[in-house]
Amino acid sequence: MSTERILSLIGALPVPVLVIGPDDRIRATNAALEALLGSGLIGKHHITALRQPAVIDAIAAVRKSGTTASVRFVNRERDKDNVYQVVVALADPDVVLSFEDQTAAEDIGKMRRDFVANVSHELRTPLTALLGFIETLSGAARDDAVARARFLGIMAHEANRMTRLVDELLTLSRVEEEERVRPRDQVDLGALLASVIKGLEPQAAAADVTVDLVLKANPLYVIGDAGQLTQVFSNLVENGIKYGASGKVLVVTLEEPANHLRLRGQGVQISVADKGDGIAAHHIARLTERFYRVDSHRSREVGGTGLGLAIVKHIINRHRGRLLIESELGQGTTVSVYLPMASLS
Ligand code: ADP
């Protein structure tokens, strides 16, 4: 087959392909391969282009045996290692290499492993504490009524933490499952915010925080999932109370509908603003990652699981809205939710 014909055939393929002639020099490549390894490879010895010993050995082995081989090929692209599975096949007298991108599959595998490791770690800490107290109560502190009462209190706290973690994990998986289902309820946003704030009154009072609700438009109806939107604003108001308590006040504002660039159209903005300690800029982009916490000790102390904002983000995605976190150290934090009008009508 002429080189022109080979070039035209592999040029039509979306996967990177490299053809090595009988003289071990590169005979043909396609655009996908040039995007991967660079252009100007034709005529070069394949060792200069490929460099990785596993691939070079596989080429020699395939030439010798005539059977197909499959090897891993790691390529550094823009500060990230991308992983390919390279199939080396003999098309006598040439050897053909095709590259299958495995990066996404490997990333998903890594995310799953990280997730399991995180969940196990989060559960292990309270479990270890519980086991320690059970041992103490059945031994040394068996007849000590004061210690017993204190330890039981701590045990209840730890058990509650595990329950909350499991509940939030279940919520997260339910929310993810429904992410592509369009919400259908008519939701009165002002009433929803008022009821969220009422539900959190005891918590606000305990932290000595006043929660103000400012409704610039009322009533304001949107189409959404009432239960999920309640969850979003509960999480945000709760965070404001937990982490912004030093500022004493929390202001929840429902703005009038307006044209928002962020939504590329009409929408409503709801913001939850505290005057607490704020969050350093480099943390902000990562807050919606599962288990990401600025200060995990403090989060655990106030009963946090690190899943609240991940849940918020998924629910807002389902509503085709946007989440914006603005914060300044020492000044406070404002979390804004933008919900589009278009998908809500
Ligand atoms: P958690 O269960 O730990 O509260 P979230 O996902 O709700 O988890 O929040 C992630 C982290 O973001 C928190 O641990 C906290 O460090 C930070 N954070 C969230 N809201 C605020 C806020 N209003 N002020 C300061 N930090 C906040």
pLDDT one-digit tens code per residue, 56-80: 999 999 999 999 999 999 988 777 8
Q: Does one domain contain both 186 and 288?
A: yes
The pTM is what? Answer: 0.79
Question: Of 101, 125, 145, which residue is a domain's last?
Answer: 101
Q: Does one domain contain both 80 and 113?
A: no
Q: Does one domain contain both 340 and 208?
A: yes
Q: Give me the tens of pLDDT residue by residue for the chain, a chain 345 residues long.
A: 788 888 899 999 999 999 999 999 999 999 999 999 999 999 999 999 998 999 999 999 999 999 999 999 998 877 788 899 999 999 989 999 999 999 999 989 999 999 999 999 999 989 999 999 999 999 988 889 999 999 999 999 999 999 999 999 999 999 999 999 999 999 999 999 999 999 999 999 999 999 999 999 999 999 999 999 999 999 999 999 999 999 999 999 999 999 999 999 999 999 999 999 999 999 999 999 999 999 988 888 888 889 999 999 999 999 999 999 999 999 999 999 999 985 444
Ligand 1 center to 173 CA (angstroms): 20
Q: How confident is the model at residue 246, as a pLDDT?
A: 92
pLDDT in tens, 186-223: 999 999 999 999 999 999 999 999 999 999 999 999 99
Q: Does one domain contain both 78 and 57?
A: yes
Q: Does one domain contain both 113 and 95?
A: no
Q: How confident is the model at residue 342, as a pLDDT?
A: 55
* Ligand 1 site, CB within 6 A: 235, 239-240, 243-244, 274, 276, 279, 287, 293-295, 299, 304-310, 333
Pocket test of ligand 1: the residue of 169, 232, 299, 329 to mutate, having most ligand atoms within 8 Å of its CB, is 299
How far apart are the C-alpha atoms of 196 and 164, rounded to whole Å? 18
Q: Does one domain contain both 89 and 121?
A: no
Which protein residue has the closest C-alpha to ligand 1 atom 20?
Answer: 239
Ligand 1 center to 303 CA (angstroms): 11
Local structure of 118: helix, strand or coil = helix
Q: Does one domain contain both 108 and 93?
A: no
What's the CATH number where 248 sits? 3.30.565.10
Q: Does one domain contain both 187 and 321?
A: yes
CB atoms within 10 A of CB 270: 23
CB atoms within 10 A of CB 51: 11
What's the CATH number where 146 sits? 1.10.287.130
Q: Does one domain contain both 18 and 93?
A: yes
Q: Does one domain contain both 108 and 205?
A: no
Question: Of 178, 211, 236, which residue is a domain's last?
Answer: 178
Count of domains forming the chain: 3
DSSP of 68-117:
-EEEEEEEEETTEEEEEEEEEEEETTEEEEEEEE-HHHHHHHHHHHHHHH
Pocket test of ligand 1: the residue of 238, 309, 334 to mutate, having most ligand atoms within 8 Å of its CB, is 309
Residue 238, C-beta contacts closer than 8 angstroms, at least 6 positions apart: 200, 203, 308
Ligand 1 center to 253 CA (angstroms): 19
How far apart are the C-alpha atoms of 125 and 117, rounded to whole Å? 13
Domain span including residue 134: 102-178
Q: Does one domain contain both 331 and 203?
A: yes
Kindly state the helix (H) or strand (E) to which residue 31 belongs, with its residue range.
Answer: helix 31-37
Q: Does one domain contain both 33 and 143?
A: no
Question: Of 53, 74, 101, which residue is a domain's last?
Answer: 101
What's the CATH number where 19 sits? 3.30.450.20
